[in-house]
Amino acid sequence: MILTAHQPAYMPWLGYFHKIALADNFVMLDAVQFEKNSFTNRNKIKTSNGEAWLTIPVEMKGHLDKQINQIQMDSRSNWKKKHWNTLLLNYKKAPFFDQYAGFFEKYYQSETNDLFGFIQLSSNFFFQELKITPQTKKLSELNVESKKQDLIIDLCKRTGSNAFVFGALGKNYADKNLFDENGISIYFQEYKHPSYQQLWQGYLPYMGIVDALFNLGPQRTKELIFEGNITKQELEKILKQ
Task: Please give the Cα distance from 90 to 48 (Å, whole number).
Answer: 7
97-103: list long-range contacts, CB under 8 Å, 24+ apart. 97/214, 99/217, 100/210, 100/213, 100/214
Helices then strands, counting H and E runs in the chain, come out as 9, 7
Task: Please give the Cα distance from 153 to 186 (Å, whole number).
Answer: 11
Task: Please give the Cα distance from 63 to 115 (Å, whole number).
Answer: 12
CB 71 within 8 A of CB 33: no
* Residue 37 pLDDT > 90: no
Task: Give this prediction's pTM.
Answer: 0.96
- The pLDDT tens digits for 101-135 are 999 999 999 999 999 999 999 999 999 999 999 99
Alpha helices in the chain (DSSP H): 14-21, 79-91, 97-107, 115-130, 139-142, 148-159, 176-181, 209-226, 232-240
pLDDT of residue 217: 98
- The pLDDT tens digits for 214-225 are 999 999 999 999
